[in-house]
């Protein structure tokens, strides 16, 4: 009987969807949509999207143009793949396209849209954006925590020194660096370690489990979930993504409840003498503020904390790994970078954050890495709040908008020799990554651009500079540069398909690797 009911319901939903599609097709006839491939029934253009969607969409855009119309299931999608379209969506009409689609990831993995990434546009999101800028990630707070970033970078250099001369899985070291930094900055201490003498008590997750959780979060936030695109199939969860989201949410919630309970106990013990020591303390104080326009519930505190942990843990590590990969494939660039460091820093100390302004070639390397390997190649989808038009084409309300910054970074109309890794193109150039130059948008632009850009740039520059300054890098086992794979793996971020392995040989005085 249950199977019969399921079949009847599925059939009914199917016919309802067909009727809805016919109605919508009739409704959409009044619009002049951007050019694009003809959609198939039910699946739309999903058959044209391969395992690396930003690649597939770039190939389609080369045929149909920089403003292209697609259909993912029953969902209308418009893709911008040029500087002009990016400027239109992210600046000229930022408020029209400032909303987010309601996806399963936002619902199940981020406390029902209580975070900053997936929160719909409205009073809650506007208040959150202001709190992030003023309270959590302001320049004063970031400067006050510089010692945390310095100490953890020194710890990473010590760990690499201890395994010198062997093949190093660099991503694992970068991952632990970022986990330790963000744990101390956001949570107040290192939670993701096994040694109870470090944590001050038992932990709720191991480093391996936590790494898996972060990787799973970025994958599930970036997948094309059939249930989001074809709603009548959502209850079937044909890809199993919703099941995985629910499992992941339970694992993160267990960890975050442990963190919040410890912080609440600390506040209770200290009473009126309590002073906020980390970002979770700040969030809990804000949650108690009766003057907030929209109260921050416990789910909101956890959603914001989840964003801070995930965003700072993964993106910086991937950018540095891509940078080292490109440098190993382009040894002449690596030589220039190390010469700049030797000249500006010398061989008697490590690099500090204050040195970065005096390292223009290093900054150019970071920009060139972000041009070729933006960690979020399609940015996070936006949603049109009202009908609008661009270049003689209509974009109806309810349309998903994707910006292919990966394709813009490879556009020969914008960049000379776009497939070559040439940091020199940024030396003396005013083009920056801070959202005002639409040919280079690794952090996005407009009101929805990544609020963690300041912290992210500090971590990438400091860690990369010290890795290049403290070690001589080479590929393992006699591998030549041309043999290094640069294949990608897709999610909300895009890591290397095969994690980079390299050999690090120390080149500075031994006492600089003490870890202090």
Cβ pair 204, 198 in contact under 8 A = no
DSSP class per residue in 396-442: -TT-EEEE-HHHHTT-TTTSSSTTS--GGGGTT----SSSS-TT--T
421, β-bridge pairs: none
List, as own/partner pairs, every contact residues 141-144 make where C-beta atoms lie below 8 angstroms and the sequence separation is at least 24, other chains included. Answer: 142/454, 142/455, 142/458
Residue 154, marked binder? no
Counting runs of H as helices and runs of E as strands, what totals does the chain give? 18, 9
Residue 186 to residue 282: CA distance in whole angstroms = 9
- 236 three-state secondary structure: helix
- 71 three-state secondary structure: strand
Residue 439 to residue 80: CA distance in whole angstroms = 12
CA-based torsion, 155, 159, 165, 166: positive or negative: negative
DSSP H helical segments within 183-297, as ranges? Answer: 196-199, 207-222, 226-229, 241-270, 279-287
Residue 199 to residue 190: CA distance in whole angstroms = 6
- 263 three-state secondary structure: helix
Cβ-count burial 452-476 (b if 16+ within 10 Å, e if not): bbbbbbbbbbbbbbbbbbbbebebe
Cβ pair 201, 188 in contact under 8 A = no
How many CB atoms sit inside 10 A of residue 349's CB? 12
* Annotated binding-site members for heme: 450
* Annotated binding-site members: 450
């Amino acid at each position: 009987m249950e199977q019969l009911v399921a079949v009847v319901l599925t059939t009914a939903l199917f016919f309802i969807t067909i009727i809805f599609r016919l109605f919508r097709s009739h409704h959409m006839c009044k619009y002049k949509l951007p050019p694009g491939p003809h959609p198939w029934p039910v699946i739309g253009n999903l058959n044209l999207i391969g395992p690396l969607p930003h690649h597939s969409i770039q190939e389609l855009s080369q045929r149909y143009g920089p403003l292209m119309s697609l259909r993912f299931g029953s969902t209308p999608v418009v893709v911008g793949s040029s500087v002009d379209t990016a400027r239109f969506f992210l600046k000229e009409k930022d408020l029209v396209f400032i909303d987010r689609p309601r996806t399963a990831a936002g619902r199940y993995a981020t406390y029902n849209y209580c975070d900053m990434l997936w929160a719909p546009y409205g009073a809650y999101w506007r208040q959150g954006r202001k709190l992030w800028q003023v309270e959590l990630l302001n320049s004063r707070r970031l400067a006050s925590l510089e010692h945390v970033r310095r100490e953890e970078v020194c710890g990473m250099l010590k760990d690499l020194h201890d395994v010198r001369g062997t093949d190093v899985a660099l991503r694992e070291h970068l991952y632990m660096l970022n986990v330790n930094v963000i744990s101390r900055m956001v949570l107040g201490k290192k939670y993701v370690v096994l040694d109870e003498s470090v944590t001050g008590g038992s932990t709720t997750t191991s480093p391996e489990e936590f790494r898996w959780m972060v990787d799973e979060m970025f994958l599930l936030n970036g997948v094309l979930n059939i249930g989001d695109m074809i709603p009548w199939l959502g209850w079937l969860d044909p890809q199993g993504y919703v099941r995985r989201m629910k499992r992941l949410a339970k694992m993160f919630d267990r960890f975050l409840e442990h963190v919040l309970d410890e912080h609440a106990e600390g506040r209770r013990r200290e009473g009126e003498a309590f002073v906020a020591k980390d970002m979770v303390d700040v969030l809990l104080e804000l949650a108690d503020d009766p003057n907030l326009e929209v109260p921050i519930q416990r789910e909101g505190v956890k959603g914001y904390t989840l964003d801070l942990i995930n965003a700072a843990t993964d993106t910086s590590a991937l950018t540095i790994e891509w940078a080292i990969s490109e440098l190993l494939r382009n040894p002449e660039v690596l030589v220039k970078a190390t010469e700049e460091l030797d000249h500006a820093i010398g061989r008697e100390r490590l690099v500090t954050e204050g040195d970065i302004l005096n390292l223009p070639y290093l900054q150019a390397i970071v920009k060139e890495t972000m041009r070729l390997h933006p960690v979020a190649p399609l940015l996070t989808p936006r949603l049109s709040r009202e009908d609008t038009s661009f270049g003689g084409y209509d974009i109806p309300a309810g349309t998903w908008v994707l910006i292919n910054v990966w394709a813009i970074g490879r556009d020969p109309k914008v960049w000379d020799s776009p497939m070559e890794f040439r940091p020199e193109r940024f030396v003396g150039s005013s083009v920056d990554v801070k959202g005002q130059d639409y040919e280079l948008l690794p952090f996005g632009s407009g009101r929805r651009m990544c609020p963690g850009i300041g912290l992210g740039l500090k971590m990438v520059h400091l860690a990369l500079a010290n890795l290049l300054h403290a070690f001589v890098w080479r590929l393992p086992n006699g591998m030549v540069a041309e043999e290094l794979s640069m294949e990608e793996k897709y999610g909300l971020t895009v890591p290397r398909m095969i994690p980079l392995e390299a050999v690090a040989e120390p080149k500075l005085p031994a006492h600089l690797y003490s870890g202090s």
